[in-house]
């Protein structure tokens, strides 16, 4: 693969980290990865560092066992197995965002309400997002993290028919076929959660039907380059001011 194209991918992954931080999807925790475009069983993920501070030199290459291809001695994210096992289970997935998005976490613990798309930018949610309950398979003594391959493989089952899944008391994960699209989804999942809470606090609400969700997703996600260009420009300007 052309080294320039790989450099561009890594730079885009850095920008994605900054965008997610700027939009409150991630804070000091959370991460985004991208599958290697030429080697399907490899992916890129930053070392253990806060997303808003990620630089190109922080990006490492991993295999599908969740280990670095060339060990550097750097600390890595505990939940790298979340990424590796989803890539293993979903060959079509090219990028993954995991976050503790503040407006989404409550929907992971509510027993009577699920995260549902209530506006057209969130059609990718489908009719409702599934919730992964780690207790069902691994008991009541875990720290809720996907910290090994067994937990990653179990969690990856949530993505057989969905592109977003919540994790009880923990956060959420979104997948897509590109970095731009997965960032779009992660941002609008958080916005949708805020809107859903606002609507539910006033009265009952209508969510998108399965057909509406599909149609909205096809229309809006055909334009992901527009918000990506804006968000990337804003992220670059913000960091230029800091410099």
Long-range contacts of 200-206 (CB under 8 A, 24+ apart): 200/113, 205/118, 206/118
How many CB atoms are located within 10 Å of the residue 137 CB? 14
Residue 110: CB partners within 8 Å, gap ≥ 6?
A: none
Residue 65: CB partners within 8 Å, gap ≥ 6?
A: 84, 149
- The strand pair at 42-46 and 164-167 is best described as unpaired
Which residues, listed in sequence order, are joined to residue 166 by a DSSP beta bridge?
131, 172
How many CB atoms are located within 10 Å of the residue 79 CB? 25
Query: Rounded to whole angstroms, how far apart are CA atoms 147 and 63?
Result: 15
The DSSP symbol for 118 reads -
Active-site residue numbers? 79
**DSSP states of 157-178:** GGGGS-SEEEETTTEEEEEESS
Give the dihedral sign, CA 195/144/82/209. Answer: negative
Task: Please choose, from the candidates 141, 197, 138, 143, the residue with its C-alpha nearest in 3D space to the C-alpha of residue 170.
Answer: 143
């Amino acid at each position: 693969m052309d080294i320039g194209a790989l450099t561009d991918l890594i730079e885009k992954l850095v920008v994605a980290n900054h965008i997610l931080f700027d939009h409150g999807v991630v804070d000091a925790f959370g991460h985004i990865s991208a599958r290697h475009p030429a080697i399907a069983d490899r992916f890129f993920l930053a070392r253990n560092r806060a997303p808003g501070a990620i630089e190109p030199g922080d990006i490492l290459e991993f295999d599908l066992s969740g280990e670095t291809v060339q060990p550097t001695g750097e600390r890595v994210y505990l939940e790298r197995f979340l990424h590796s096992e989803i890539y293993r289970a979903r060959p079509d997935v090219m990028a993954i965002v995991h976050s503790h998005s503040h407006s989404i976490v409550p929907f992971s613990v509510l027993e009577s309400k699920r995260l549902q798309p209530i506006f057209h930018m969130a059609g990718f949610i489908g009719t409702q997002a599934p919730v992964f309950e780690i207790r069902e398979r691994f008991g009541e003594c875990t720290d809720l993290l996907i910290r090994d391959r067994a937990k990653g493989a179990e969690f990856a089952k949530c993505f057989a028919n969905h592109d977003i899944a919540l994790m009880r008391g923990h956060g959420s994960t979104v997948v897509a076929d590109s970095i731009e699209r997965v960032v779009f989804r992660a941002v609008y999942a958080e916005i949708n959660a805020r809107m859903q809470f606002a609507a539910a606090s006033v009265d009952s609400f209508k969510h998108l039907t399965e057909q509406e969700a599909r149609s909205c997703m096809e229309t809006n996600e055909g334009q992901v380059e527009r918000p990506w260009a804006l968000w990337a420009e804003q992220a670059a300007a913000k960091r230029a001011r800091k410099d």
